[in-house]
Structure 1
Amino acid sequence: MNDVPGFLIADDHPLFRQALQQILKQEYAGCHLLESSNFTETLNILKNEDDIDLVLLDLSMPDNKGLHSVKTIIDTRPEVAVLVVSANTDITLVHQLLELGINGYVPKSSSFEVITDAIKSVLELNTWLPSEVAEKVQTLKANLTQKSNQLSQLTPQQIKVLSMIADGKLNKQIAYELGIQETTIKQHVSAILKKLDVINRTQAGILYKQQAFE
């Protein structure tokens, strides 16, 4: 990292970019400062600008495809730190972002002081989360571990059925693709719900996708 860090503010809201500029210029006088307002522009800057140490990334920019876009940014410049600054406070999403390799997450509603702390910590190669978010992420990890143990109870055939449930397929479609009777699929579904301790197909499918991501 250079003595004076370089930043890329990737956000489609001009006022919020200005607010982040104010923080960065105050804390890092003379810093190299770039801006982007959509994912394509963000990626192009990362490909062509070497003097970037940290991306302050909004998730809701135009042409941003969520987790896939974040992964593309990380894969393109793995040495550049990524601090997600987002209005989206979904804990499952935060956990998935951390698994992808972001360095920190801070809500857009945070004070300047909190955002400043997050930037400083991430630049020092630490992982940064607000304390209340960190606690919820740890709880989610524990729950996912427990659910993972439950998935291990399923037979290979039940795993196949569950993967199709997660894709939104009906029992009739699953039976046709697997070449077995629909009544057998119904039996598998009942066993899957019981073993996973969930009440419906939707919950079972969500659980499978979470574990597939892991």
Structure 2
Amino acid sequence: MRQTLSATLNAGVQDAASFAELMLCLESNAQIELVFLDLNMPGNHGLAGLTTIRNQFPDVLVIVVSANEQLDVIARSMSFGASAYVPKSTPLPEIILAVEAVLAGDSWLPSHLLTALSNRPNRLHQEFATKLGQLTPQQFKVLRCIADGLLNKQIAFELQVQETTVKQHVSAILRKLGVINRTQAGVLFHDMLRADDEDNLPAQDTF
């Protein structure tokens, strides 16, 4: 699928076999404009990968690719900054249309999903997305560590910062998210960014 996309788009397409590789690609190549993000690629947990990219690389456009067509997951993906949501069953000509629309500054969804989502309320998703947007990249990393159950000392080691710095970030995170403790922050993060896949197996096609 990657080879077909590359040939059809007549442009260089870089591969990333895991989310960690994808982040390295983005960090080392400022020319990347668009990312196809597989929700089920190794290292990507639900919508956390999407929000990580949008937080650390706000100028990079993201097209989410998944076999998951749950309306709630799609609605949250779009609320959290995806420019398009492309089911893996989408014919190649439609994928090309999605790319063209996104590069032109528009969002894109298959017509049947657009119709299904048109009357679906997503106020809570949008509010959470707004709150996440208030976090600095470092605060976002701390939040992910909190959600993974790490203590301040462990977070400081992971991010190579002082523990007092971590405590300052935690205080700011709680204030911006409107929660009273780190447990609530972690639960909110996991609940909002989960995207239960149809099979929970590693995807065969990653971008």
Q: TM-score range by the shorter chain?
A: 0.5 to 0.7
CA deviation after TM superposition for structure 1 residue 81, in Å: 0.7
Match of 2:42, SS state, is coil
Alignment match of 1:81 (pick from 61, 84, 88): 61
Q: Retained in 2: the 8 A contact 1:89–1:107?
A: yes
SS at match of 1:33: coil
Give the CA RMSD over aligned residues: 2.2
What residue is the counterpart of 2:41 in the other structure? 61
TM-score where L is the length of structure 1: 0.55
Counterparts of 1:78 and 1:56, CA distance in 2: 15
Contact 2:18 2:43 in 1 (8 A): yes
Match of 1:179 in 2: none
Residues 50 and 81, structure 2, Cα contact 8 Å, conserved in 1: no
Contact 1:47/1:76 (8 A) holds in 2: no
Aligned residue for 2:111?
131
Give 2:7's match in structure 1, choosing from 22, 25, 35: 22
Distance 2:48 2:95 in 1: 25
Q: 2:73 is matched by which residue type in structure 1? A: L
Residue in 2 aligned with 1:182?
none
Aligned equivalents of 1:20, 1:72: Cα separation in 2: 24
Deviation at 1:82, TM superposition (A): 0.6
How far is the alpha carbon of 1:75 from its aligned partner?
1.0
Give the whole-Å Cα distance in 1 for the aligned partners of 2:67 and 2:108. Answer: 16
Higher-RCO chain (CA-CA 8 Å, sequence separation at least 6): 2
Asked if the contact 1:83–1:104 (Cα under 8 Å) also holds between the matched residues in 2, the reply is: yes
Aligned to 2:81: 101
How many pairs align?
128
SS of 1:36's partner is coil
Gaps of 5+ in 2: 124-187, 193-207
Please give the per-residue CA displacement for 1:109-132, whole angstroms capped at 9, x wherever unaligned: 111110000000000110111111
Q: CA deviation at 1:60?
A: 0.7
Give the whole-Å Cα distance in 2 for the aligned partners of 1:101 and 1:130. Answer: 17
SS of 2:15's equivalent in the other structure is strand
Matching residue of 1:35: 15
Shift of 1:23: 2.4
1:147-158 matches, cutoff 5 A: none
Match of 1:112?
A: 92
- Output the CA distance in 2 between the equivalents of 1:50 and 1:131: 33
- The alpha-carbon deviation at position 58 of structure 1 amounts to 1.0
Identity of paired residues, percent?
Answer: 33
Matched with 1:180 is: none
Distance (Å, rounded) in 2 between the aligned partners of 1:19 and 1:106 = 16
Contact 1:83 1:102 (C-alpha < 8 Å) held by counterparts: yes
Which runs of 5 or more residues in structure 1 are unaligned? 1-15, 26-30, 146-208
Structure 1 ranges of 4+ moved more than 2 A: none
